Structure 1
Amino acid sequence: MRQVYLVTHAEAQHHVDGVVGGWHDSELTARGRLQAERIAEVLANRIGSHPVEVYSSDLRRASQTAERIARRFGVDVQLDARLRERSNGEADGRPQAWLAGRRVPLPEYGDRLGHHDGPAGAETRLALVERLYPALDDILARPVAHQVVVSHGSASSYLIAAWIGMPMRSTDRGFFPLASGSITALLRNDTHFSHQVVSLNETQHLEGL
């Protein structure tokens, strides 16, 4: 059976500063580094001595989380830019209020995936899923049965959709709210070949930090 642990990167500086994340390349905070160590401890206890691969978005807040996990297993992090968060274009790194004042609201109906939020250079949700789905396919094509994938909040939500086989065009409404530093456990059952979401948005390991 294949087990995939989907990790949302730990607390980053842009969270504290109140600026837009996206492709803004912020680093983990001191608290975020502690969270990443706690995540690594949890995964080490679950996976044990089994061979494992660790994949990550190439943005620093994700890769710094992944590095602490990989260190526990004595493996390297495999970076993949396709696992990045959705780009907000010129809004990335600016105050959240700046984006809020310029964002074009997502319509309830119509082409929600192709909708452009407003800021120049921003990705559509369609562009996001079109890079995330193949990225997960490539990871799952590997023979290793235990894998850790470190990504971002919105991106990780779409990775779950890809895992359960949701067609890309059906992701225009589905969404899984995921907290920073959370763990979502995915399992492929080899008896009836189902792709299961065993746990979603685990955060209890962050208590006290």
Structure 2
Amino acid sequence: MELLLIRHAQPFRLSDPNGADPDLTPDGEEQAKRLAVALADGRYGQVDRLVSSPMRRAAQTAGFARDSLSLDVATDERLVELDHGWTTYGAVHNYTDRRLLLQDMNGGRLGENSFDPELFRDRVVAGVEQVAASADDGVVAIFCHGGVINAYLSHVIGTATMFFVEPYYTSVTRVLALDGGHRQVLSVNEIDHLR
């Protein structure tokens, strides 16, 4: 089977003392529409199943695909981003040096917040592997987050650091999931649907 790890579309930056969980911007909605058209047109194969993080930016992106493919969207809490529950969304935009951003994230920090990278990766891998185990042959689109994609890819590839790539909004990263636990990265950061 093939897993499509799809980063959500562009959300608003947001601060909320109850937990920042922003909606998509108008540009983000346009990105999600273009992705949905590409999925419906079969650009990434015939999608048989949709799974999403419950966070708004991922769920809203998945909603456009749901409407174009006429498929239900299952949610999985294990696919939430590392910033889940933080009061501010958009801390990465405060970094002017990409190397410092990746260094901080690999050290379990992002802005003023901290997280446990290993616990994060363990949760993400468990979630994605459960999706792979519960699906038949075919294509499953997983709507998630940049950190989630990095965590899973670093597991599959066995990189020394967890965070090493910046997935673009609505980018598609394809992973072949074969029986016996074999995983093969087929592509990273496909964005032709945005052109």
- Point out the more displaced range, 137-146 or 5-14: 137-146
Q: 1:49 to 1:85 in 2, by over 3 A?
A: closer
1:128-143 paired onto structure 2 within 5 Å:
128-143=120-135
Aligned equivalents of 2:63 and 2:177: distance in 1? 25
Shift of 1:30: 1.2
SS of match in other structure, 1:67: helix
SS of match in other structure, 1:12: coil
* Alpha-carbon contact 2:8-2:61 (below 8 Å) kept: yes
* Alpha-carbon contact 1:91-1:119 (below 8 Å) kept: no
Aligned equivalents of 2:152 and 2:163: distance in 1? 12
Of the three residues 138, 151, 161, the one matched with 1:158 is 151
Aligned equivalents of 1:39 and 1:200: distance in 2? 15
Aligned equivalents of 1:44 and 1:58: distance in 2? 22
| Structure 1 unpaired stretches of 5+ | none
Aligned equivalents of 2:40 and 2:107: distance in 1? 40
Partner of 2:50: 54
Kindly, what percent of the aligned residue pairs are identical?
A: 25
Q: 1:35 to 1:124 in 2, by over 3 A?
A: same
Partner of 2:171: 182
* Alpha-carbon contact 1:88-1:119 (below 8 Å) kept: no
Partner of 1:9: 8
Indicate the RMSD between aligned Cα atoms, in angstroms.
3.4
Give TM-score, length-normalised by structure 2: 0.78
| Structure 2 unpaired stretches of 5+ | none
* Alpha-carbon contact 1:50-1:146 (below 8 Å) kept: yes
Shift of 1:185: 1.8
> After TM superposition, which residue ranges in structure 1, 4 or more long, deviate above 6 angstroms?
94-97, 105-108
Aligned equivalents of 1:40 and 1:106: distance in 2? 31
SS of match in other structure, 1:52: strand
Q: 1:49 to 1:91 in 2, by over 3 A?
A: closer
Equivalent pairs, count: 187
Aligned equivalents of 1:107 and 1:38: distance in 2? 29
SS of match in other structure, 2:21: coil
Aligned equivalents of 2:69 and 2:171: distance in 1? 19
Q: 1:134 to 1:173 in 2, by over 3 A?
A: closer
Partner of 1:206: 194
Shift of 1:152: 0.8
The structure whose residues are more often strand, as a share, is 2
SS of match in other structure, 1:58: coil
Of the three residues 39, 42, 47, the one matched with 2:38 is 42
Aligned equivalents of 1:26 and 1:174: distance in 2? 23
Q: 1:118 to 1:9 in 2, by over 3 A?
A: closer
Partner of 1:146: 139
Shift of 1:59: 0.6
Aligned equivalents of 1:175 and 1:72: distance in 2? 32
Aligned equivalents of 1:172 and 1:140: distance in 2? 24
